[in-house]
Amino acid sequence: METEVEKIRARQRARHHDFLHTILIIAAFAIPVIAALSLYALYNGSLDAIQAFGFGFLTGTAWVPNPPNGGTSILGALPAIYGSVVTTVIALLIAVPISLGIALFQSELAPRKLRLPSIFLVELLAAVPSVVYGLWGILFLVPFMSTYIDPGLIGSLGFISLFAGQANGLGMLTAGIILAIMIIPYGAAVMREVIAAVPRSQREACVALGGTTLETMRMAVIPYASTGIIAAIVLAMGRAIGETMAVTMVIGNVARISPSLFLPSETIPSVIANEFTEVAGNNIYLAALFELGLILFAIAFLMNLIGRVLISKLTFHGGAAAHV
């Protein structure tokens, strides 16, 4: 009797194992299938614009979807691409050092009573909706930039084209700063987990050789965790380049390519968000917005690919960082 019961239980375990195995296979294939379907939808929706403008869509600087007197639409994606790249670079230049500093403090320096509250606050900031950041940007950051930061930079560095222009608070610099504030929690959280995974032996070896706390972080912890730090930067970069609402509310939304960080500009997500409801009856206009989405997809893919290449170059074989 016991033998028969054991056989029944063994068959039940086998069925459960097969069911779980099937679910895991479906889940594994779901991601590439969803990505492929998204790519197909974007490409299919942008066919009219691709046929109408060709490669010139990527290099065009004018954005006149509904010209007067029923003329032909003139659409170019270069200003939106330029704005997306510049605001993302500004955000990373500000956010990466701050995120790394927060992660090192929380994992290496903070006392126990301060560590948990600081981690909670960082995770709380990561959960704030982007539209809230946008409202804060309009009500506080834009006036603050137009009153203090922009005039100060123009007065001291106005001879450089990056800091020339009018101080109105709206522009790529403000958008980059609000993006930096938004991605700091993401970068800090990932970097903290990576740094915490560095083996204690790494730290103890450096301390045994006479290294101070700062030297231990600089010479033992950061190099070992460099792969995970690069991965955190890539994740933050993906969040920054795809952000929509907060950037739309503070960048000014003008199709312009200018070296000045103070002038209003636009990004690919802001163009799509602002204009997708205005395409009724204009198939070329709608297709151009789909092509902007396709370009954004390609930029995000390229950035992640570059990140993976950097990770493979910096991987410590045999170390914990190699598995991040």
Collapse the DSSP code of 136 into the 3-class scheme (helix H, G, I; strand E, B; otherwise coil) and give the result: helix
Whether residue 149 is found in the same domain as residue 25? no
What is the pLDDT at residue 79? 94
Structure confidence at residue 24 as a pLDDT band (50, 70, 90): confident
% of the chain beyond a pLDDT of 70: 94
Residue 264 counted as domain residue: yes
Structure confidence at residue 315 as a pLDDT band (50, 70, 90): low
Please state, in angstroms and as integers, the Cα–Cα distance from residue 128 to each residue in 94, 121, 133, 140, 324, following that order: 19, 11, 8, 17, 26
Mean pLDDT, rounded, for 294-306: 86
Residue 319 counted as domain residue: yes
Residue 99 counted as domain residue: yes
Q: Could you please report the per-residue DSSP string of 268-305?
A: HHHHHHHHGGG-TT-HHHHHHHHHHHHHHHHHHHHHHH
Q: Is the pLDDT of residue 134 over 50?
A: yes
Tokens of 47: 């066919």
Q: Is the pLDDT of residue 306 over 90?
A: no
Residue 50 counted as domain residue: no
Structure confidence at residue 264 as a pLDDT band (50, 70, 90): very high
Whether residue 81 is found in the same domain as residue 140? yes
Write out the H or E segment, with its range, that includes residue 64.
strand 63-64
d(CA 272, CA 244): 9
Q: Could you please report the per-residue DSSP string of 2-43?
A: HHHHHHHHHHHHHHHHHHHHHHHHHHHHHHHHHHHHHHHHHH
- Range scoring the smallest mean pLDDT among 10-24, 236-250, 266-280: 10-24
Structure confidence at residue 301 as a pLDDT band (50, 70, 90): confident
Structure confidence at residue 70 as a pLDDT band (50, 70, 90): low
Structure confidence at residue 5 as a pLDDT band (50, 70, 90): low
What is the pLDDT at residue 158? 86
Whether residue 154 is found in the same domain as residue 301? yes
- What's 219's DSSP letter? I
- What's 276's DSSP letter? G
Mean pLDDT, rounded, for 68-91: 89
Mean pLDDT, rounded, for 166-195: 92
On the 0-12 / 13-18 / 19+ scale of CB atoms within 10 A, 75 is buried
Domain count, the chain: 2
C-alpha dihedral (123, 182, 91, 289), degrees to nearest 10: 130
Collapse the DSSP code of 75 into the 3-class scheme (helix H, G, I; strand E, B; otherwise coil) and give the result: strand
Whether residue 236 is found in the same domain as residue 272? yes
Whether residue 86 is found in the same domain as residue 38? no
Structural domain of residue 18, as residue ranges? 2-45
Residue 201 counted as domain residue: yes
Whether residue 234 is found in the same domain as residue 172? yes
Mean pLDDT, rounded, for 9-27: 80
Mean pLDDT, rounded, for 105-121: 89
Residue 86 counted as domain residue: yes
Q: Is the pLDDT of residue 219 over 80?
A: yes
Whether residue 22 is found in the same domain as residue 125? no
% of the chain beyond a pLDDT of 90: 42
Q: Is the pLDDT of residue 305 over 70?
A: yes
Structure confidence at residue 316 as a pLDDT band (50, 70, 90): very low
Interstrand relation of 63-64 and 74-75 (parallel, antiparallel or unpaired)? antiparallel
Whether residue 33 is found in the same domain as residue 96? no
Whether residue 219 is found in the same domain as residue 153? yes
Q: What is the mean pLDDT of the chain?
A: 87
Whether residue 190 is found in the same domain as residue 104? yes
**306 or 237: whose pLDDT is higher?**
237
CATH assignment at residue 123? 1.10.3720.10
What is the pLDDT at residue 296? 92
Residue 51 counted as domain residue: no
Whether residue 39 is found in the same domain as residue 129? no
Whether residue 122 is found in the same domain as residue 178? yes
Residue 311 counted as domain residue: yes
Q: Is the pLDDT of residue 317 over 60?
A: no
What is the pLDDT at residue 321? 43
